[in-house]
């Protein structure tokens, strides 16, 4: 394999709507490394994924089979893309991909594709369904919650935990509900979208914080950046945030990474209860967040550290991040001809920067 600065790096998650995947932010972080002379390949699931059209971001792009097609379908596609585009490092950014990638790490290495992802046991331990168990191991608090497999259990939890409640999908999504009927409806919606179990969690009123981090696989943090959400979308996703000095946030993240022996990127979602000041872990996302470019802008380029680790290179000690660094998302139109869309629709890939010049 070539050194990290010359590697062909593939990043998944090119969707970038009002609920963006992390792929664009990860690619922007890699582009921010002045010495990087390699290539960036965007991997997505739809020819209209907006990240494919971000001017100056990608050297190539390709469509993957949806995760429901299974691990072997993913491997077959990556085998072809290894031959066609020379992919050497894979950085997955979606929860729904990670189990298949982690289970395929040996086969990917045999193809010449390196990655640095969580081990299967750590992925299982970090799921929303097992968060209370992880809290006991890691010594942190989490709101009372339970993974349920049928609607009657939701009704029981309404009686036990009271209202409002938070109902969550096993992979994505969370809805605050204020009645038993809404709780049951949310259960059915998440079960239909992401399967079972569905998680029902006690609602805690407070201020939301997040930590983006990278674990070395031996229980230590390579880097971590804490931020407070300043503006949310109607889906509850952060539209603006600012880095904060959060020693308790970082300590808890370090304890969690140590308990899991975490390998790769992750995001920890926190809530500080308004009434008591208590800090709760709401969930652990097993990949970099969509706001990870804020960490890069604040001084810790976590995606680049991932690439170095995947290539077997030591990571120099990362500097302390700058507190008070803010991000604000914007929506803009990418105007160009149909060349990129045509290539993706016809062959499932493009490999020329020139097709994405603005009109």
Question: How confident is the model over 171-189, as a mean pLDDT?
Answer: 91
Query: d(Cα 32, Cα 188) in Å, to the nearest integer?
Result: 42
Question: What's the CA gap between 71 and 54, in Å, rounded?
Answer: 29
Question: Which helix or strand (DSSP H or E) is residue 40 part of?
Answer: strand 39-44
- Which of 129, 91, 135 is CA-nearest to residue 113? 91
Asked whether the predicted pLDDT for residue 358 surpasses 50, the reply is no
Alpha-carbon distance of 115 to 217, in angstroms, equals 12
- pLDDT higher than threshold 90 for residue 112: yes
DSSP letters along 80-104, please?
A: HHHHHH---EEE---HHHHHHHHHT
Closest CA to 38 of 10, 11, 7: 7
pLDDT band, very low/low/confident/very high, at 173 (cuts 50, 70, 90): confident
Query: Could you tell me the pTM of the whole model?
Result: 0.92
* pLDDT level of residue 17 (50, 70, 90 thresholds): confident
* 79-104 per-position pLDDT tens digit: 999 999 999 999 999 999 999 999 99
pLDDT digits (tens, 9 = 90+) for 252-299: 999 999 999 999 999 999 999 999 999 999 999 999 999 999 999 999
pLDDT digits (tens, 9 = 90+) for 130-150: 999 999 988 999 999 899 999
Query: What is the distance between the alpha carbons of residues 89 and 43, in angstroms, rounded to a whole number?
Result: 12
Query: Can you give the residue ranges of every domain in the chain?
Result: 4-115+332-356, 122-126+205-328, 144-202
CB 61, CB 350: distance < 8 Å: yes
Q: Among candidates 349, 284, 301, which has minimal Cα distance to 25? A: 301
Which pLDDT belongs to residue 356? 39
* Antiparallel, parallel or unpaired: β 263-273 and 174-177: unpaired
pLDDT at 331: 87
Predicted pLDDT of residue 336: 87
Per-residue model confidence (pLDDT) at position 357: 36
Q: What confidence category does residue 194 fall into, taking pLDDT thresholds of 50, 70 and 90?
A: confident
CATH node for 144-202: 3.30.1490.20
- Strand 165-168 and strand 198-202: the pairing is antiparallel
Report the alpha-carbon distance of residue 66 to residue 301 in Å, rounded: 29
Fold of domain 122-126+205-328 = D-amino Acid Aminotransferase; Chain A, domain 1 (3.30.470)
Q: Fold for domain 4-115+332-356?
A: Rossmann fold (3.40.50)
Q: Distance (Å, rounded) from C-alpha 262 to C-alpha 271? A: 22
pLDDT score for 71 = 96
């Amino acid at each position: 394999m070539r050194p990290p600065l010359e590697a062909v790096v593939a990043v998944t998650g090119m969707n970038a709507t009002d609920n963006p995947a992390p792929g664009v932010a990860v690619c922007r972080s890699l582009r921010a490394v002045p010495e990087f002379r390699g290539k960036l390949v965007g991997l997505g699931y739809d020819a209209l994924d907006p990240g494919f059209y971000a001017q100056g971001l990608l050297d190539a792009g390709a469509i993957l089979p949806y995760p429901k097609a299974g691990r072997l379908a993913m491997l077959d596609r990556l085998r072809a893309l290894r031959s066609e585009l020379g992919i050497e490092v894979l950085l997955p950014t979606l929860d729904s991909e990670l189990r298949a990638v982690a289970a395929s790490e040996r086969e990917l290495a045999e193809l010449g594709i390196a990655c640095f992802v969580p081990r299967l046991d750590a992925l299982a331990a970090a799921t929303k369904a097992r968060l209370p168990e992880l809290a006991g191991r890691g010594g942190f608090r989490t709101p009372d919650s339970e993974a349920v497999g049928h609607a009657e259990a939701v009704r029981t939890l309404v009686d036990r935990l009271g209202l409002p409640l938070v109902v969550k999908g096993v992979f994505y999504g969370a809805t605050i509900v204020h009645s038993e009927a809404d709780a049951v409806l949310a259960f059915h919606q998440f079960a239909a979208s992401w399967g079972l179990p569905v998680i029902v969690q006690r609602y805690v009123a407070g201020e939301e914080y997040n930590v983006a981090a990278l674990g070395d696989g031996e229980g230590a943090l390579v880097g971590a950046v804490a931020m407070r959400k300043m503006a949310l979308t109607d889906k509850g996703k952060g539209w603006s945030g600012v880095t904060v000095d959060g020693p308790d946030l970082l300590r808890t993240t370090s304890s969690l990474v140590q308990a899991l022996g975490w390998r790769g990127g992750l995001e920890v979602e926190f809530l500080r209860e308004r009434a008591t000041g208590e800090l709760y872990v709401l969930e652990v996302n097993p990949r970099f967040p969509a706001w990870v470019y804020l960490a890069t802008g604040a001084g810790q380029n976590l995606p680049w550290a991932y690439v170095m680790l995947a290539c077997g290179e030591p990571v120099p000690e990362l500097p302390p991040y700058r507190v008070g660094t803010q991000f604000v998302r914007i929506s803009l139109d990418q105007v160009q001809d149909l060349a990129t869309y045509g290539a993706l629709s016809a062959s499932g890939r493009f490999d020329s920067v020139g097709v994405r010049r603005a009109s």
